[in-house]
Structure 1
Amino acid sequence: MNQLRRSISIYGLGLLALFSACSGSTKSSKYTKLTGEVFHTYFSIQYDLGTDYSKAIDSTFHSFSHSLNPFDSTSLIAAINRNESSETDSMLREVFLQSVEISRHTEGSYDVTCAPLINLWGFGFEKKGDSITLHIVDSVRQLVGYQKVQLDGAQMLKADPRMKIDFSSISKGYCADLVGRLLKEQGATNYLVELGGEIAFQGKNPQDECWIIGIDKPIDDPSGSVNDYELRIRLPRQAGGLATSGNYRNFKIIKGKKYAHTIDPKSGYPMQTDVLSATIIAPSCMLADGLATACMTRQSSQVPALIRHFPGVEYMLILGNPSGGYHTVMSPGFQRLVIK
């Protein structure tokens, strides 16, 4: 785990937080700002208290990693994947139950047990080679299915010991929520926590205005170094989360063919709907993170019905046009947040 490291370079996958008081100082108008790198991505945290809580935040990162980080060999989820233990904690159970709810409402197109397929295609925590055949895909596909994993008290039980679980599509948002909870416990009423593009927020910025973020255009750029805004929005003042998912930055070239990182659990192959990018605003960043990924597994015409299952959620989709180019669609509530 990386310790908190000071940095003035902040970027995210799919969106970029815009700070009007981003001069490199750590305190402004009684706000504290912490920036650095963790989980191989950048974070930026602002809150309306004068105390530096970097040690407490670092402890939160460690606790999260020990529970949910599949790349951490000492984590609970890694032990479950290796069949060395079935023990969970409250964090793992909370994320699992939220992921199951999303899976049910997507008819299984969103599925955190898809890890063996994700690994097979080279996007997961276990890297595989380029030798992918129909037979191999079909055999691995039998190890996928959210209904095959159950909680029995504090134990997570898998129907097949070869199953593996990866919460990466939802857990980064949850980690941002955990930091937000910590800050609220310390008395913060205004904060913005950005972790690799996932944002947990509440209240106002140091200028006594709503937090403002920019949402990127769908540009093929795996490095994430190119940022060109499609639009900017003012975030609501009530606590919530925002996340963006898109295939345009996470893809692989295998034998000359481009494959997106969204895998269809039913076919076992990468999928691409007409949705190039999905941005979700939800009551929690965990829910926003999971739903943004889930939208990438649906046709745009299916998204409104999906979102209706989750109160307080707004969305914006960037859709590809058959003739090239793209256009945006958004819910009425999201439209009201757009800065003209």
Structure 2
Amino acid sequence: MFPFLLYGSAGCDEKSQYHVLSGQKHTYYRVTYNHPHDLSEGIRFIYDVFYESLNPFDPQSTISKVNNNEEIALDEIFIEAFTRSIELAEKTKGAFDPTCSPLINLWGFGFEKSKEPSDSLINEIKEYVGYDKIVFKDGFVVKKDSRIQLNFSAIGDGFSCDIIASYLDSKGVSDYMVDIGGEIVTKGKNKAGIDWSVGIIKPPKCLGADKPTEFETIIRMKGRMALATSGNYNNYRMRNGKRYGHAINPATGCPVDNRILSATVIAPDCITADAYATAIMAVESEKLNELLQVDSTLEYYIIYLDELDNYSIIKSKGIKAYM
């Protein structure tokens, strides 16, 4: 439990009302909750503390100092992000890997300017990429190679959703939706008194096509649950006349071409949902089925293109209950 979640009480004797807090950091955020008081100050504080720890674009953040091999007292947010990321990397057999940062940078999706990718440069970088090459020991991050860099962006939105949702829980909030960049945690009902609903976008077949506006399906969020979606259509780069999506396979060091357009995952917490959605986008086609069998608590809805370039769906049996 993080220190800033320990104070306060439910205090729901007064009449509750729905509040909405929205804004923009690296992506949009929107927090809707039912409570007698405005909790915006506490939510903003938590979000700021989160960024002070895990923002790789800030040279003063905890993660930047770890990447630069500076001595620093690690905060609880960083420790939790690191511990959970390594755990999820092990479960996904590296399809999700928080040490993939140098490869992400190389292909132009990271926090450093990239060089032109080449086979030799990719192979060189792969020597210091791998979740098994870094550990947390005696309060410090220990690297097998000083060039190893971390990037928690693949689980960052999901993790921040979890932290803000926990804060709302600590305040006795029984109805809320936390939406950060499309990663979502919900609890209870919306203002209309019904389950929260989340639309899954029907992605374009080609990277860089018109912004999608059509929903493929609607997910009804029942009780307290978390959902994350990953897709390439909004984040790609052009190199030598070819479009590359941001899903990098850590094993090959290159953007993956598994014909998956988007992956939506429902999980008990959003950091898990976020990591698995990323892993599904990054895994090689022949290993997808194995990945989907790792955790039986997950539900998923995957949109991909078949051999004839038609939209096709892979979905878990249990997700039908939410549609």
The TM-score, its normalising length taken from structure 1, stands at 0.85
The structure 1 residue matched to 2:222, chosen from 232, 236, 255, is: 236
The separation in 2 between residues aligned to 1:94 and 1:311, in whole angstroms, is 23
What is residue 319 of structure 1 aligned with on the other side?
A: 304
| Cα deviation digits, residues 256-276 of structure 1 (max 9, x gap) | 011121112222111121322
User: 1:93 maps to what in 2?
Assistant: 79
1:290 aligns with 2:275: yes
Tell me if structure 1 keeps the 8 A contact 2:135–2:143: yes
1:38 paired residue number: 25
Q: Give the conservation status (yes or no) of the 8 Å contact 1:241–1:281.
A: yes
> C-alpha offsets along residues 169-220 of structure 1, whole Å, 9 cap, x if unaligned?
0111000111111111111011100011110111111111110110001125
Aligned to 1:51: 37
Q: Is the 8 A contact 1:259 1:270 kept in 2?
A: yes
Deviations 1:79-117 (A, max 9, x none): 001111254222112222222222222222221101001
Structure 1 unpaired stretches of 5+: 1-27
Contact kept? 1:33, 1:46, Cα under 8 Å = yes
Alignment of 1:62-73 (within 5 A): 62-73=48-59
> In structure 2, how many angstroms separate the alpha carbons of the residues matched to 1:187 and 1:45?
15
SS in structure 2 opposite 1:112? coil
CA shift for structure 1 position 302: 4.3
1:329 to 306, 314, 319: 314
In the alignment, which residue of structure 1 is the partner of 2:200? 215
The question of whether the paired residues in 2 share the 8 Å contact of 1:198 and 1:244 is answered with: yes
Q: How far apart, CA to CA, are the structure 2 residues paired with 1:236 and 1:189?
A: 13
What is the deviation of 1:298?
A: 2.5
- Given that 1:31 and 1:49 are in contact with CA atoms closer than 8 Å, whether structure 2 keeps it comes out as yes
Q: Check the 8 A contact 1:29/1:206 in 2, yes or no.
A: no
Q: 1:266 to 1:177 in 2, by over 3 A?
A: same
Q: CA deviation at 1:163?
A: 1.1
**Cross-structure match for 2:231:** 246
Contact residue 198 and residue 289 of structure 1 kept, 8 A: yes
Query: Post-superposition shift, 1:291?
Result: 0.8
Superposition RMSD in Å: 2.0
For residues 145-160 of structure 1, what are the structure 2 equivalents within 5 Å? 145-160=130-145
* Rounded Cα–Cα distance in structure 2 between residues aligned with 1:194 and 1:223: 25
Which one-letter code corresponds to 1:63 in the other structure? V
**Structure 2 residue runs without a partner (length 5+):** 1-14
Residue 38 of structure 1, CA deviation = 2.0
Q: 1:218 to 1:257 in 2, by over 3 A?
A: same
- Preserved CA contact (<8 Å) 2:17 2:36: yes
Range with bigger deviation, 324-333 or 295-304: 295-304
Give the Cα separation in 2 of the matches to 1:301 and 1:132.
25
Contact 2:34 2:173 in 1 (8 A): yes
Which moved further from structure 2: 152-161 or 218-227?
218-227
Asked if 1:113 corresponds to 2:103, the answer is no
Provide the TM-score with structure 2 as the length reference: 0.90
Deviation at 1:315, TM superposition (A): 0.6
The letter for the 2-side match of 1:90 is: E
Distance in 2, Cα, partners of 1:265 & 1:312? 25
Report the AA paired with residue 150 of structure 1. V
Structure 1 residue 225: Cα displacement? 4.7
Distance change in 2, residues 1:310/1:87 (3 Å) = farther
Q: Counterparts of 2:48 and 2:16 in 1: how far apart (Å)? A: 30
Aligned with 1:258: secondary structure?
strand
Q: What is the Cα deviation at residue 234 of structure 1?
A: 0.6
Q: Between the two proteins, what is the percent identity of the paired residues?
A: 37
| Alignment counterpart, residue 272 of structure 1, candidates 237, 257, 275 | 257
Q: Tell me how far apart the structure 2 counterparts of residues 221 and 227 of structure 1 sit (CA, whole Å).
A: 15
Answer yes or no: is the 8 Å Cα contact 2:207–2:245 preserved in 1: no
Structure 1 match to 2:165: 180
Q: Which amino acid aligns with 2:103?
A: L
Deviation of 1:52 after TM superposition, in Å, equals 1.2
The answer for the alignment partner of 2:125 in structure 1 is: 140
